[in-house]
Structure 1
């Protein structure tokens, strides 16, 4: 019996918690599209946050599913295949902190909290694939979010929904880039780690808990910060998303702040 079939149906059944989050995303997205909500900003807030949590769950699921097919048959018993965020080893790191960063209007903070029994996995390519699967899911999510832009499907789309998609795409692209940074503690390092010597890995291991902190310290530097966001803008631009959609989407998302007069006004649906 293969590792993929060794898991029981209960271990692969989608969690009601995830379905509830997805339902919030669908209903709030409908509210943004139709203008049913009295406050467009609050509807955009619910839509972006719930969609962001859905993407985090899919990110971790991708890690887990790839690990299962790579030899770690313990994945199912840990609940990782149910998409339930409460099953993660560190829900604080995988869900709470990334959501807080988004609410603060920051960037897509990388999560990461599924425990993979790496000793069960044979082959460096498989180890690299497990680490890459998560951020590749964010990249795919970004492509889906931006598809109306690069497919020319914006005609008839409400302005607020377009701006919400623009900001959500920004979060996905930033999360993808940050996750792929080859620094200990991030998925990018997990991709290259199997190809490093044991000596180098032992030397680097003590720094893993501080990898993400180091990345943000570096990103705080003006030159690096500008280069990073220019890269995000460039990627989004190639996907047809203009900076105004991202900025105004963030402005709508932060409904508790004063609206920018250059953007759509919360509560008013139209062109």
Structure 2
């Protein structure tokens, strides 16, 4: 994401936050194997989603650094500390609510990149596309890992629950990838074409990006059939990459354990 630097600085980066979140996720996976439950699936997927957002945003910052914006280092964007994102409410809280309430992998995270410091337009576009590329890598890693695991057989309740939870997490990566690549202001797909727009147009569009994102969220949740299109596209991509439909359905039911 490319925006002006926010006025209120986030907390100083802590190198232990990212590894700490990873350890929590691994502990939740162990808990899920020992005591499979819907609540455990929910917690595992939610924390896994946060980790995937961190990888996504790190990739934006890393490519921006390579392109010439060295301020991402002092801003803490390369520290895997999500507290460094510009607005935690928009970056994590709102997407997590969308995920919990509607199962929508809405884009989260916000690293503020200095486009004026990046050497040229292709590098600026690459910085925008680096996030979706990282999401795709996470999706492929989950899909290939589960495919290898399935070849060994998954029968016990605990491993089955973990398998299903990882399948849901992979599905959410597919959904987030599709959403992020839409050429809509505020999303990475638009960020990739922004550098090639007329110089006077981009600042005008930037002013309405927040409203556009809220509008997109409202469309997904309130316009009949809109979410179904998104879910079908994400399911098609997931199945094309080898994710198991039965595991996805089982994990989806477990993730929404309060609806049972």
TM bucket by the smaller chain? 0.7 to 0.9
Residue 17 of structure 1: aligned partner: 17
Once the two structures are superposed, residues 53-96 of structure 1 have per-residue CA deviations (whole angstroms, 9 ceiling, x without a partner) of: 11111111111111111101111111111100111111112221
Residue 197 of structure 2: aligned partner: 196
User: Aligned runs of 1:113-128 on 2, under 5 Å?
Assistant: 113-128=110-125
Residue 234 of structure 2: aligned partner: 232
Distance 1:217 1:45, change over 3 A: closer
Matched, 1:55 2:52: yes
Contact 1:185 1:210 in 2 (8 A): no
Once the two structures are superposed, residues 96-147 of structure 1 have per-residue CA deviations (whole angstroms, 9 ceiling, x without a partner) of: 1222222224211101311111111121110001111112211111111111
Alpha-carbon distance between aligned partners in 2 of 1:127 and 1:253, rounded to the nearest angstrom: 37
SS of 1:163's partner is helix
Once the two structures are superposed, residues 6-48 of structure 1 have per-residue CA deviations (whole angstroms, 9 ceiling, x without a partner) of: xxxxxxx97211111100111111222xx322x5222222211
The number of residues matched between the two structures is 243
User: Aligned runs of 1:17-36 on 2, under 5 Å?
Assistant: 17-32=17-32, 35-36=33-34
Alpha-carbon distance between aligned partners in 1 of 2:207 and 2:82, rounded to the nearest angstrom: 27
TM-score by length of structure 2 reads 0.86
SS of 1:198's partner is coil
Contact 1:186 1:211 in 2 (8 A): no
Structure 2, unaligned stretches of length 5 or more?
1-12
Q: RMSD of aligned C-alpha atoms? A: 2.0
Alpha-carbon distance between aligned partners in 2 of 1:47 and 1:142, rounded to the nearest angstrom: 16
Alpha-carbon offset, residue 202 of structure 1:
4.2
**Largest Rg, 1 or 2:** 1
Alpha-carbon distance between aligned partners in 2 of 1:257 and 1:227, rounded to the nearest angstrom: 22
Structure 1, unaligned stretches of length 5 or more?
1-12, 259-271
Alpha-carbon distance between aligned partners in 2 of 1:204 and 1:86, rounded to the nearest angstrom: 27
Alpha-carbon distance between aligned partners in 1 of 2:171 and 2:134, rounded to the nearest angstrom: 14
Residue 142 of structure 1: aligned partner: 139
Alpha-carbon distance between aligned partners in 1 of 2:151 and 2:96, rounded to the nearest angstrom: 28
User: Aligned runs of 1:57-206 on 2, under 5 Å?
Assistant: 57-151=54-148, 153-157=150-154, 158-206=159-207
Q: Which range moves more in the overlay, 139-148 or 74-83?
A: 139-148
Distance 1:112 1:211, change over 3 A: farther
Contact 1:148 1:154 in 2 (8 A): no
Distance 1:19 1:89, change over 3 A: same
Q: Which range moves more in the overlay, 144-153 or 61-70?
A: 144-153
TM-score by length of structure 1 reads 0.82
SS of 2:242's partner is coil
